[in-house]
A and B are shown apart, each in its own frame.
Chain A
Amino acid sequence: MWMVGGFAGKVLRVDLSRGETYVDGLNFSLVKSLIGCLGVASKIMLEEVDPDVDPLSPKNKLIYATGSLTGSTAPAANKSIVVSRSPLTGIWGESVFSANTGIELKRAGYDMLIVDGRAEKPVYLWISDGYVEIKDAGGFWGMDTFSACESIKRDLGEKRAAVVCIGPAGERFVRFASIISDNGRAAGRCGLGAVMGSKNLKAIAVKGSRNIEVANPDLLNEIRMEIIEITKESMKAFSDYGTSRGVVAFEEMGNLPVKNWTRGRFPGAEKISGIRMAETILAGRKACFACHIACGRYVKLSEGPYAPLEGYGPEYETVAALGSLCMNDNLEAIAKANDLCNRFGIDTISTGATIAFAMECYERGIISKEDTGGIELRWGDPEAIIRLIELIGRKEGFGAILSEGSMRAAEKIGRNAERYAMHVKGLEIPMHSPYRFKEMGLQYAVSERGACHLRGLSMLPARGILLPDLGFNRKLDGFTIEGKAHLVKVMQDVCRVVDSLGACKFVYLFGGVPLRRLADLYSAVTGWETELKDLLRAGERIWMLQRIFNVRMGVRRRDDTLPKRFLEEPMGDGAARGHVVELEPMLREYYAERGLDEEGRPRREKILEMGLDFATKYIDW
């Protein structure tokens, strides 16, 4: 077989309805044109998932892919990419996380796992080198995620196996159910845990023993040392204080969401920040595979109402979603809420955003204690937040309504509640303010998976984090809209590249690494001489395939929008006071940048120009 460095060369397919497994070869000419399995997965989704496939039906696919550099020892190249049609949004569903399962999968000989069908009863997958078995998971069904991961390892007698699994929420099809790894990372967004649940698939356990060969190990090592040298100082604050160090600075600059996006100032910001965490409940730091930064937190509560608790701590998005967004300034309660979300297996962003939505509905009298089952949903009440998480995770009482996500919950509640549901295409807004960084407004409106901060990170140049290799060599003004369409387009493309390579966006985009070195790393691992412009071109192709998928699923210009609050209600206070998001002019410019027609559909000539001829058969416009 023609082999390429960094890849295993095989795709494992599992049909749970038939109980059968197959192995395909990886199509390397496709991999080369799309720089890895994310693009290949995009093509497979186009080919194999039609618009009439319900996301929770056996016909939906769950693709578990690895990054091109994943496991190669390139710094912080450790990502797994999970892809499916999302039950939360009905469109492109994807979540990227640092599960060790991806590294083990590649070591076991597979770049990608594609799961089809639905098992008759709960099962888990056991993959060990060339051996694949669909095993009974009846004994683990109902277990929380961390208990299930450990129990499955014991069941296998394999301490070294890497496991990802769903919790009770995924089993019950909570639409924002996550997939959790045994190393405490979450594929949180888009409800991919519910897709696993719909397939009766509790977990995937993998152990591999082969080396991941790279084309030029000396060059890889040289670049690796250079990147570590650059980032160990520039990213030190992430090591010391984690990603939630940003809470106070973000509040100051008007980026922190407060009270379901109605406020910009939050007096409790200091109390929930990563600095306070380091001074109080932090018990250790956690690094993902091959990462020298270790921004992951490990917390311990020995006393107080939420003790005892010891485990993975909250990162920035979680601290803001379950903290300031709900007006909660109790860090210990946030740690507890985070732990509960991870154990039930629900996305902390969608959870916090849906609870904030419910709190606003309660404050406005749209819902009452009669609707909530007696819970008073007062802003900032940690007990109410924790109670709702338990109800959502078990899909009980009022939690059953919220477990549908804010968009569907608002439809069920009625009485104009949709005005307060803060989502795009069904995916709840993450924790960076589009009032403060207008580019984030455009990015949320057009992102592949609904409101996503990570598919773009377009606010970086306005935060002074410059990317000269992309042409962003001076600080931009986040309050203006000029040039933002181009900015969002380029940043989306580079994020598609970083995701496809399985690299960490913090290390490669925040830390001052010249991006051309990412191309050098890719060349060193694969042996394919590649420049940054080639990677970006491939990133654009990947974005385009996913756009075509979304248009096939019905996405049009009317969907590329923001909650009315951002468009019509000026921010009340803080640095962004008085601002709204002027979306329309940015959107028009963006469509032109992307080669989309007035309805947001990719133009045929653009698809051909990008060398995606095969994709034209999926366009009927």
Chain B
Amino acid sequence: MIRVKLVLLDENLRRVAGGNEVILELDEGSTINDLLKIVSIEYGGEVLSALLKAGNSIMLNGQSIEFLGGVGTRLSDGDRVAVVPLVAGG
């Protein structure tokens, strides 16, 4: 098993999910896609939809997953996956 921290930086998402961050336990070799499936199962489709809202960016350890392996990016123990809103600040 690996432990990954999911950090929610969008206020609506925080409200829907009921918190700022959560530790998820995943199988070795899991990907971002696997993490999203677990979010859907454990927190429901509403949280997943809010998370995947257009404009939100998914970052692995601070880098956008587009520049890694997309949703197929493999996760490691201790990783941080953050959901960052588009217009985050000034």
Give how many A-B residue pairs fall within 8 Å (CB-CB): 82
Q: Is chain A's binding surface mostly helix, strand, loop or mixed?
A: helix
Contact call B59/A252, Cβ cutoff below 8 A: yes
Select one of A254, A274, A436, A511 contacting B89, CB under 8 A: A274
Contact call B89/A247, Cβ cutoff below 8 A: yes
Select one of A243, A249, A316, A574 contacting B85, CB under 8 A: A249
Q: Is B73 an interface residue (CB 8 A)?
A: no
Contact call B90/A464, Cβ cutoff below 8 A: no
Contact call B59/A234, Cβ cutoff below 8 A: no
A240 to B14, CA, bound (A): 15
A317 to B89, CA, bound (A): 10
Which residues of chain B have C-beta atoms less than 8 A from A452's C-beta?
Answer: none
Which residues of chain A have C-beta atoms less than 8 A from B62's C-beta?
Answer: 252-254, 436, 574-576
Contact call B82/A252, Cβ cutoff below 8 A: yes
Which residues of chain B have C-beta atoms less than 8 A from A7's C-beta?
Answer: none
**Residues 54-70 (chain B) with a chain A CB within 8 angstroms:** 55, 57, 59, 61-64, 66-67
Q: A252-B59, A317-B90 are in contact. List 5 more A-B contacts (CB 8 A).
A: A237-B88, A238-B89, A245-B89, A248-B9, A463-B57
Q: Chain A: which residue is nearest B11 at the CB level?
A: A275
- Chain A 574-592 against B: per-residue CB contact (8 Å), 1 yes, 0 no? 1110000000000000000
Q: Is A519 an interface residue (CB 8 A)?
A: no
Q: Is B4 an interface residue (CB 8 A)?
A: no
Q: Chain A: which residue is nearest B56 at the CB level?
A: A464
A240 to B89, CA, bound (A): 11
Contact call B90/A295, Cβ cutoff below 8 A: yes
Distance (whole angstroms) from the CB of B5 to the closest CB of chain A: 11
Q: Is A146 an interface residue (CB 8 A)?
A: no
Which residues of chain A have C-beta atoms less than 8 A from B36's C-beta?
Answer: none
A598 to B30, CA, bound (A): 50
Contact call B57/A464, Cβ cutoff below 8 A: yes
**Residues 307-359 (chain A) with a chain B CB within 8 angstroms:** 315-317
Q: A247-B89, A249-B88, A252-B82 are in contact. Are A237 and B7 (CB under 8 A)?
A: no
Q: A252-B7, A252-B59, A275-B11 are in contact. Are A245 and B88 (CB under 8 A)?
A: yes
A28 to B38, CA, bound (A): 63
Q: Is B84 an interface residue (CB 8 A)?
A: yes
| Sampled A-B contacts (5; CB under 8 Å) | A237-B11, A246-B90, A274-B89, A464-B86, A510-B87
Which residues of chain A have C-beta atoms less than 8 A from B67's C-beta?
Answer: 477, 479
Which residues of chain B have C-beta atoms less than 8 A from A315's C-beta?
Answer: 90
A479 to B59, CA, bound (A): 13
A254 to B11, CA, bound (A): 20
Q: Is A615 an interface residue (CB 8 A)?
A: no
**Residues 1-42 (chain B) with a chain A CB within 8 angstroms:** 7, 9, 11, 20
Distance (whole angstroms) from the CB of A233 to the closest CB of chain B: 10
Q: Is A362 an interface residue (CB 8 A)?
A: no
